[in-house]
Chain A
């Protein structure tokens, strides 16, 4: 029966001992090597053993004669990687979307970038690459040089006529309500949404491929630019992964300084979304007020890192600059100022009738659906699905800092926004605690530039949810493979689920409550 305290490894050992090879301590809690077809059995075993089993990502690998697949599965107390291999000549593997619906987009991405065919996938086709991408060219395979790819001439898209009463409304790629390029074809019956077809990849930059031709040192700055808003967390996750391969322990002071940078990032990201939600529902006063109060936080980032947006603080082995003693009073004063403003915003979210009408009971995502679709971050926590990497698998100094995990159970847009509102306060507490308890000592250690052969996975809690990194090194100064799974990529299924059956007018407010970031999604 589902039990959150079960030892996942012993369960797999007892059920599938003679069929799979368990490597404890590798790539998370354990790596499980399977032969073709058995990966489904392992996932089914995990699903039966723990109710919070969900998929984090699928990583494709080019191993030469074979193509590798890594299924990264999280349970309530473990993180398991399932290895599978398919021959390069006929890369076919059975889909897992029937037992784990959250894997739909992950499989589409691997299919696009590695050419692995997932047999039985419900909606095969291009998802990340453009429609005029040449057949048989899979960009993340090692034999493909992205500069040699010749795109096919693009064809006019023929929009199918709507059948009967159903009308198709195309939101995007350029749309006033969605600020970044992505497309959702929404089918409506009257005013009710009956179907949503997503399409991303309009600004896909191939950062995962680009990391392979740059040194680890340069990659820190490259992955930082995956997302402008949560840049610190991307850099932090990458350097943590590299530190795991290098087996370096970061000084205690660096851990606290990283936490301060990450929480400043979370603060301004959450304030941005809380304001942006006001803009989407036509409440521009709220938007202006939130963004006004976000500005002092940006100034703090500038003060501590030297730049307003890109902090460039993280480096392998620590942080690049220390916090100055004379800046601490200013940081504390700004945070106290922000804390004083929060009750007003809470009251607005509680009392304002127009906000309640646009947000309460809109886009309700039930807890079981949230787990089934493997959503992350505030979207999961707004539905009562209590996952927070900072608590589940503490990294940096989070294990030593007391803070609350915010969980709401309503599952609607209002709950998701209030998770963020409460997390703003928690972030302020964390920064204040970290500053008060900043340990003395060095803030970085010297790290070698050449990383020994090895691989590692890492999970961190970005403002939008669990951010996942996989890095494989082949013993040179450049990585062999870097895989990034950003939180928005995991959260899109939640929007597809909750938009159906609701009014077309609620699409923007529902969508913005995911805090979507397509710069992240299209790496």
Chain B
């Protein structure tokens, strides 16, 4: 230690922070802006689906089950198993699965995390 008493760098920095704005955000009230291609909840377009089942076959988490709707096999997403890798979107030959920036999926009712193909164009809750 030198003879001259120095203010420790950390103390200097800590005091200077009294006059700056906090870095934390007030999350539920102020939402972060996400990049446009964020991998959030899937949006499935039933009109583009050709019932090939590639999404279900490639899903690493086995979160996609093919169910029969109006006589055709359609993917049903179980978001509680989903790892949001978006391999399904990559495997889909018709781009029927798209990403969204909706991420607030916490729920007390697990059954609401199953995206039924007929209603799947609607999100579980409105993003706004």
Q: B-contacting residues of A (Cβ < 8 Å)?
A: 214-215, 217-222, 225, 285-286, 289, 292, 295, 302-303, 306-307, 310, 312, 320-321, 327, 344, 347-348, 351-353
Task: Find out whether the CB atom of B14 lies under 8 angstroms from the CB atom of A221.
Answer: no
Task: Find out whether the CB atom of B85 lies under 8 angstroms from the CB atom of A312.
Answer: yes
Task: Find out whether the CB atom of B38 lies under 8 angstroms from the CB atom of A307.
Answer: yes
Question: Given A222-B60, A312-B86, are A306 and B35 neighbors across the interface (CB < 8 Å)?
Answer: yes
Sampled A-B contacts (7; CB under 8 Å) = A215-B58, A286-B10, A303-B35, A321-B37, A348-B9, A352-B9, A352-B10
Task: Find out whether the CB atom of A344 lies under 8 angstroms from the CB atom of B9.
Answer: yes
Q: What chain A residues lie within 8 Å of B37 (beta carbons)?
A: 306, 321
Q: What chain B residues lie within 8 Å of A292 (beta carbons)?
A: 23
In chain A, what residue has the closest Cβ to B90? A320
Measured CB to CB, the closest approach of chain A to B38, in angstroms, equals 5
Q: What chain A residues lie within 8 Å of B8 (beta carbons)?
A: 351-352
Given contacts A292-B23, A306-B99, A352-B10, 10 further A-B contacts (CB under 8 A): A214-B60, A218-B58, A218-B60, A219-B60, A225-B83, A289-B13, A302-B38, A306-B38, A307-B38, A307-B84
From A289, A307, A353, residue with most partner B Cβ within 10 Å: A307
Q: What chain A residues lie within 8 Å of B84 (beta carbons)?
A: 307, 310, 312
The answer for the CA separation of A37 and B110 in the assembled complex, in Å, is: 57
Q: What chain B residues lie within 8 Å of A285 (beta carbons)?
A: 10, 14
Contact digits for B1-30, partner A, Cβ 8 Å, 1 yes 0 no: 100000011100110000000010000000
In chain B, what residue has the closest Cβ to A449? B58
Q: What chain A residues lie within 8 Å of B98 (beta carbons)?
A: none
The answer for the CA separation of A220 and B61 in the assembled complex, in Å, is: 12
The answer for the CA separation of A117 and B9 in the assembled complex, in Å, is: 56
In chain B, what residue has the closest Cβ to A219? B60
Q: What chain A residues lie within 8 Å of B90 (beta carbons)?
A: 320
Asked whether B116 is an interface residue with its Cβ less than 8 Å from the other chain, the reply is no
Contact digits for B24-63, partner A, Cβ 8 Å, 1 yes 0 no: 0000000000110111000000000000000000111100
Q: What chain A residues lie within 8 Å of B39 (beta carbons)?
A: 306-307, 312
Task: Find out whether the CB atom of A221 lies under 8 angstroms from the CB atom of B99.
Answer: no
In chain A, what residue has the closest Cβ to B99? A306
The answer for the CA separation of A215 and B37 in the assembled complex, in Å, is: 27
Contact digits for B90-104, partner A, Cβ 8 Å, 1 yes 0 no: 100000000100000
Contact among A217, A286, A347, A353 with B87 in the assembled complex (CB-CB below 8 Å): A217
The answer for the CA separation of A352 and B9 in the assembled complex, in Å, is: 8
Measured CB to CB, the closest approach of chain A to B116, in angstroms, equals 24
For the complex of A and B, the 9 pairs showing the least CB-CB separation, nearest first, are A218-B60, A221-B60, A306-B39, A312-B85, A347-B9, A221-B85, A303-B35, A307-B39, A292-B23
The answer for the CA separation of A327 and B84 in the assembled complex, in Å, is: 22
The answer for the CA separation of A310 and B87 in the assembled complex, in Å, is: 13
The answer for the CA separation of A312 and B88 in the assembled complex, in Å, is: 13
In chain B, what residue has the closest Cβ to A296? B23
The answer for the CA separation of A310 and B84 in the assembled complex, in Å, is: 9
Measured CB to CB, the closest approach of chain A to B93, in angstroms, equals 14
Contact among B1, B13, B38 with A344 in the assembled complex (CB-CB below 8 Å): B13
In chain A, what residue has the closest Cβ to B12? A344
Task: Find out whether the CB atom of A348 lies under 8 angstroms from the CB atom of B10.
Answer: yes
Q: What chain B residues lie within 8 Å of A310 (beta carbons)?
A: 83-85
The answer for the CA separation of A255 and B84 in the assembled complex, in Å, is: 24
Measured CB to CB, the closest approach of chain A to B123, in angstroms, equals 18
In chain B, what residue has the closest Cβ to A312? B85
Q: What chain A residues lie within 8 Å of B99 (beta carbons)?
A: 306
Q: What chain A residues lie within 8 Å of B59 (beta carbons)?
A: 218
